[in-house]
Amino acid sequence: FDRFGEMYFNRNLSKHKKEAATRMWEFGVPDFSYGDMIPAKEIFPKNSGGFVTTDMSNLSSNPLIIQTIHSEINKLNAMPTVHGQWSFILPHNWLYCLKMMVLDHESGQRVKEAIVAISIGLSNDSVQIVKLWCAEDGDFNHIHFMDRVAHNNYQTHQYFVYVDDIASVSPSQYINSLEFVPSSKIYSNFS
């Protein structure tokens, strides 16, 4: 793929990422300001793992989703030479996002349960917090957060997974750089 225009993010590469014989490379320059040609580099390298995230609607709907995701990731991480290293990540402002949801009295108790579940996940290193400095703006969007993670890590990780058990993201909002799966299917989809 040509680096110019980042074509590898404009196409759905899910099928190709899963094929054992397929390797993807980027070449060329990202823009015309580069004087010298940059060497070709493998992208979405095989057996390099990935990042998994979900949104606050899924967390508040079912706080136990964290345990399901952790269990699925542990299965993948049990064989790192085959599946690579996988991590469950959340954006740095997860607490603020959930705090805003507490104001909705219907889901308030589940949101509090989600806060406790995330806190436990943080204490046992099953959840990691990621801050993307370039993504600072007032309108936080989990899809764009994970898309930025993909743009920053596509040379070191194969998959970027968005867990959606409650269909909080409509198919029209899907982005080609992300894989959208239910929490119970992480291992079966990426092993």
Span 159-173, pLDDT tens digits: 999 999 998 889 888
Mean pLDDT score, 14-30:
85
Question: Which of these, 173, 183, 157, lies nearest to 50 by C-alpha position?
Answer: 157
Span 53-79, pLDDT tens digits: 999 889 988 989 999 999 999 999 999
Q: What is the pTM of this model?
A: 0.87
Question: Which of these, 58, 121, 46, lies nearest to 89 by C-alpha position?
Answer: 121
CB 49 within 8 A of CB 164: no
CB 27 within 8 A of CB 52: no
Q: Does domain 47-190 have CATH number 3.40.50.11490?
A: yes
pLDDT band (50, 70, 90) for residue 6: confident
Q: What is the mean pLDDT of the chain?
A: 87
Side-chain-side CA neighbours of 174 within 13 Å: the count stands at: 16
Side-chain-side CA neighbours of 122 within 13 Å: the count stands at: 13
Domain extent listing, the chain = 47-190
Strand ranges in the chain using DSSP code E only, listed in sequence order: 24-28, 38-43, 50-54, 86-91, 128-130, 159-163, 179-181
